[in-house]
C-alpha cells in the first residue's frame, strides 16, 4: 500500500497541478496559507517606509527646540491654515476652479493608493499593472464627466455637432473603451502570477469605487448649489480640527484600537463643536444667492451662473419651540433658515459617522504597515489622509439631497426638451397646451391665439 501511494504521488499529471503548485511565487501569504515550516506567513507584505521630510526649512527652524508633540502640533496648525486659505481662494475663483481642484485631488488620491499596491507587489514585476490602472481611471472619468456634460450642458451640446454624437452614444463609447482595457488585462495574464494579477485588478477597481465615484458625487453636490459643497466639506474640516484640539488638550480615554491617538474626549468635543459651527456657517451662507442657487451653464455668456429665486429652505421661517425649550430659553419662537436644520443633520453625520472613514483608512494603513498614504503634506501625510472622511460625507450629502431636498428642476427639463427633434417638441407643446387649458390655467384667449 505504501508503494502504491508513492507511485500515485509520483504519477500525477503535471497539467492537473499546474494551477496549484506552479504558482508557488503567486502566494500572498494570506490567512490559511502556511509556510514551509508549518507556520502562517504574515497576512500582507509591508510597504517600504518613506524617510522623506517635506517640512519647509523655515518651519523646521521656527519649531526647533520644542518637544515632538508640540512641534507636530505647530506644523499641522500652520499648514492647516495655509490649506484653508487656499480653499477660500478657490471659492472666490468660482465653480470651475472648484471642479478642477476636486479632479486634481481625485487623481492624487488615486495615485497614492495605487502606488501602495505597486510598492507592495513591485518585486513580482506584474505586467501592465500601473498602465492599466491609469487607463481605467481615464475610462471611469470619461463615463462620469460625460454624464455630467449631458445633464448640465444641454445648450452647449445642442450647438456643437461633435458633442451631440458623443453624448448620444456616450454609454456605448464608455463601455467599448472599458472593454478594451478589460481585454488588455486578460492578455497580460502571466501563468505564475494569476492570483496576484487578479488581486491587483480588484485593488484598482475598489480604488476607483472609493475615489472616482465619490468625487463625482462631490461635483454633483456642487451643481445643486455651492452651499451643498461648502458646508459638508467645511463640517468635516471643522470636526477634524475640533477633535484634534479637544483630544490634544483633554484626551485621556482611547476611542478605537485602529487609531490609538483618537480619544473619546476629542470625539465628543468634535461633535458639539461641529454642530455649532455648521449651524452658524449655514446661517451665513444662506443669505447669498451665489451660494444657494444651483450652478448652471449660461450658453449666451459661456459662463457658469448662480442666479435664481431662492427656494423655501433658504428663506427665513418662524418656528415654535417645544415647551421644555421655551421654559429654558424664555423664547416662544425662533426665526431661522430651514437649511440650518438640515445643517444639523449634516453636522451630526459628519461628526459621528464621518470619522469612520478615517478609521477605515487607519485599518487600511495598518494592514500594510504604513503610517500615512504619502508624505505630500508635512504633519498631515498624503492627500488621501486629509480626504478619507470627505468621500463618505460627499456620498451622504448626495443621498440626503436626493431623498429630502431635490425636486423637479425646470431648467434641466428645458435642456432635455431642446435636444429633441422639432416634431417631438411640437407634440409636447400641444400636449402641455391641452393639459393647461383643461385645468383652467391657460386662458381661452391665449389658446385661440395659439
Q: Is the pLDDT of residue 299 over 60?
A: yes
pLDDT of residue 163: 79
Long-range CB contact pairs, 227-230, < 8 A, 24+: 227/282, 227/285, 227/286, 227/291, 227/292, 227/339, 228/397, 228/401, 229/98, 230/91, 230/281, 230/285, 230/291
> Average pLDDT, whole number, for the chain?
82
> What are the φ and ψ backbone dihedral angles of 104, each rounded to 5 degrees?
-65, -45
Chain segment 171-201, per-residue pLDDT in tens = 999 999 999 999 999 999 988 888 888 989 9
> For the purposes of burial, counting CB atoms within 10 Å of the CB of 419, is it exposed (0-12), middle (13-18) or buried (19 or more)?
middle
pLDDT of residue 338: 95
Q: How far is CA 203 from the centre of its chain?
A: 17
Q: Is the pLDDT of residue 349 over 80?
A: yes
Residue 375 and residue 351 in contact, taking contact as beta carbons nearer than 8 Å: no
Q: How many helices (H) and strands (E) are present in the chain, helices listed first?
A: 21, 6
Long-range CB contact pairs, 114-118, < 8 A, 24+: 114/203, 114/204, 114/207, 115/374, 116/47, 116/368, 116/370, 116/373, 117/200, 117/203, 117/204
Cα–Cα distance measured from residue 436 to residue 164, given in angstroms and rounded to the nearest whole number: 32
Chain segment 359-390, per-residue pLDDT in tens = 999 899 888 888 888 888 776 788 898 888 89
Residue predicted with more confidence, 345 or 115: 345
Give the E-state strand segments of 229-284 in sequence order.
254-256, 259-263
Kindly state the DSSP code that residue 305 receives in the 8-state scheme. Answer: E
Cα–Cα distance measured from residue 81 to residue 63, given in angstroms and rounded to the nearest whole number: 16
| 292: CB partners within 8 A, 6+ apart | 225, 226, 227, 285, 286, 308, 310, 311, 314, 339
Q: From its phi and psi, is residue 29 left (phi > 0), alpha (psi between -120 and 50) or beta?
A: left
Q: Is the pLDDT of residue 84 over 90?
A: no
Using only C-alpha atoms, the chain has a radius of gyration, in whole angstroms, of 28
Name the pLDDT band for 31 (thresholds 50, 70, 90).
very low
How many other C-beta atoms can be found within 10 angstroms of the C-beta atom of residue 405? 15
pLDDT of residue 445: 64
| 207: CB partners within 8 A, 6+ apart | 110, 113, 114, 133
The C-alpha angle 361, 362, 368, rounded to 5 degrees, equals 95
Span 118-122, mean pLDDT? 75
pLDDT of residue 123: 54
pLDDT of residue 20: 43
Name the pLDDT band for 38 (thresholds 50, 70, 90).
very low
Residue 264 and residue 253 in contact, taking contact as beta carbons nearer than 8 Å: yes
Instruction: Tell which residue, 144, 152, 143, has the closest CA to residue 96.
Output: 152
pLDDT of residue 74: 81
Cα–Cα distance measured from residue 114 to residue 206, given in angstroms and rounded to the nearest whole number: 10
Q: Which percentage of the chain shows pLDDT scores above 90?
A: 39
Dihedral sign computed on CA atoms, order 26, 28, 30, 35: positive
Cα–Cα distance measured from residue 269 to residue 211, given in angstroms and rounded to the nearest whole number: 29
pLDDT of residue 164: 80
Cα–Cα distance measured from residue 242 to residue 277, given in angstroms and rounded to the nearest whole number: 10
pTM (predicted TM-score) = 0.79
259 bridge partner residues = 256
Q: How far is CA 204 from CA 18, 24, 112, in A?
A: 27, 24, 12
pLDDT of residue 23: 43
Amino acid at each position: 500500500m505504501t508503494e502504491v501511494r508513492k507511485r500515485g504521488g509520483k504519477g500525477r499529471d503535471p497539467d492537473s497541478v499546474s494551477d496549484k503548485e506552479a504558482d508557488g511565487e503567486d502566494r500572498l501569504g494570506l490567512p490559511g496559507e502556511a509556510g514551509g515550516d508549518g507556520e502562517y506567513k504574515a497576512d500582507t507584505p509591508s510597504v517600504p517606509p518613506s524617510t522623506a521630510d517635506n517640512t519647509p526649512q523655515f518651519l523646521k527652524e521656527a519649531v526647533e527646540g520644542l518637544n515632538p508633540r508640540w512641534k507636530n502640533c505647530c506644523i499641522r496648525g500652520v499648514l492647516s491654515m495655509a490649506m484653508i486659505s487656499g480653499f477660500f481662494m478657490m471659492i472666490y475663483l468660482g465653480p470651475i476652479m472648484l471642479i478642477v481642484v476636486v479632479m486634481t485631488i481625485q487623481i492624487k488620491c488615486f495615485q497614492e493608493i495605487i502606488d501602495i499596491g505597486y510598492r507592495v507587489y513591485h518585486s513580482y514585476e506584474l505586467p501592465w499593472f500601473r498602465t492599466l490602472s491609469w487607463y481605467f481611471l481615464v475610462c471611469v472619468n470619461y463615463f462620469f464627466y460625460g454624464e455630467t456634460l449631458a445633464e448640465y450642458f444641454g445648450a452647449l451640446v445642442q450647438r456643437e455637432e461633435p458633442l451631440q454624437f458623443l453624448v448620444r452614444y456616450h454609454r456605448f463609447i464608455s463601455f467599448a473603451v472599458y472593454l478594451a482595457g478589460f481585454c488588455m488585462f486578460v492578455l497580460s495574464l502571466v501563468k505564475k502570477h494569476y492570483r496576484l494579477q487578479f488581486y491587483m485588478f480588484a485593488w484598482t477597481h475598489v480604488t476607483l469605487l472609493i475615489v472616482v465615484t465619490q468625487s463625482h458625487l462631490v461635483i454633483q453636490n456642487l451643481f445643486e448649489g455651492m452651499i451643498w459643497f461648502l458646508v459638508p466639506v467645511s463640517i468635516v474640516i471643522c470636526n477634524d480640527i475640533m477633535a484634534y484640539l479637544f483630544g490634544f488638550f483633554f484626551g485621556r480615554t482611547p476611542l478605537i484600537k485602529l487609531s490609538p491617538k483618537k480619544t473619546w474626549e476629542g470625539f465628543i468635543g468634535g461633535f458639539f463643536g461641529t454642530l455649532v459651527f455648521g449651524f452658524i456657517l449655514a446661517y451665513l451662507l444662506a443669505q447669498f444667492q451665489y451660494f444657494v442657487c444651483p450652478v448652471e451653464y449660461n450658453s449666451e455668456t459661456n459662463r457658469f451662473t448662480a442666479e435664481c429665486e431662492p427656494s423655501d429652505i433658504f428663506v427665513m421661517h418662524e418656528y415654535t419651540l417645544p415647551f421644555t425649550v421655551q421654559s429654558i430659553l424664555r423664547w416662544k419662537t425662533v426665526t431661522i433658515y430651514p437649511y440650518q436644520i438640515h445643517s444639523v443633520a449634516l453636522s451630526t453625520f459628519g461628526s459621528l459617522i464621518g470619522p469612520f472613514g478615517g478609521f477605515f483608512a487607519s485599518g487600511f494603513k495598518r494592514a500594510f504597515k504604513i503610517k500615512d498614504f504619502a508624505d505630500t503634506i508635512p504633519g498631515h501625510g498624503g492627500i488621501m489622509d486629509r480626504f478619507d472622511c470627505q468621500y463618505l460625507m460627499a456620498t451622504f450629502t448626495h443621498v440626503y439631497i436626493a431623498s429630502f431636498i431635490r425636486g423637479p428642476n425646470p431648467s434641466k427639463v428645458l435642456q432635455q426638451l431642446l435636444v429633441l427633434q422639432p416634431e417631438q417638441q411640437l407634440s409636447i407643446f400641444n400636449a402641455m397646451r391641452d393639459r393647461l387649458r383643461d385645468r383652467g390655467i391657460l386662458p381661452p384667449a391665449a389658446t385661440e391665439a395659439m
